[in-house]
Amino acid sequence: MKRILVVDDEIGALTLIGIMLERGGFEVLKAKDADQALAVLELEKPDLIILDVMMPGMDGIELCRLLRNRPDTAELPILILSARGDAKSVMSGMEAGASDYLPKPILHHDLVAKVRRMLDMGEGDADLRASL
C-alpha cells in the first residue's frame, strides 16, 4: 500500500484529504505544519507528499524547497494543494520543485486520480521537472 504524507494546518482539510486518500486505497500520514512534517519524515518514508501552501511558520513553498534539497526526499513526488490557483502561485510552487499543483477545493475523484498518476510516473518525475 502506497503511503502519502499530507501536510495542512487546517484540521478539517487534513481530515477530509486523509479520508479521500484512504478511500482511494492509500495509507495516510498527517502533519499540521512543516515542523511536524519534518519529524514524520525522520521516522517514515512516504511515496508521495501533499503540501498546503498557506501554513504558519514555514509555508508549503519553503517546505517544498527544503524537501528538494534533502537527499532522502529530493526525488519524491510532491503535490501542492492550495486555495491560491493563480498563475503566479502555481509558478512559484513549480519553481520550488513541486511535481504538480492542484487548486482547492478538490474533488475526491480528481485527487485520487492525480495521486495515482503521479505515483505511476515514479522515477520519471525528476526528468519531467528538468524538461519544464
pTM metric for this prediction: 0.88
Residue 49 pLDDT more than 70? yes
The closest alpha carbon to 82, from 62, 55, 56, belongs to 55
Q: Which residue ranges make up each domain of the chain?
A: 3-131
The closest alpha carbon to 81, from 117, 56, 40, 49, belongs to 49
Three-state secondary structure of 57-79: CCCHHHHHHHHHCCCCCCCCCEE
3-state helix, strand, coil in the chain (%, to 5): 50, 20, 35
- Assign domain 3-131 one CATH number from 3.10.20.600, 3.40.50.2300, 3.30.230.70, 3.40.1190.20: 3.40.50.2300
Name the band, by pLDDT with cuts 50, 70 and 90, for residue 121. low
Share of the chain above pLDDT 70, in %: 91
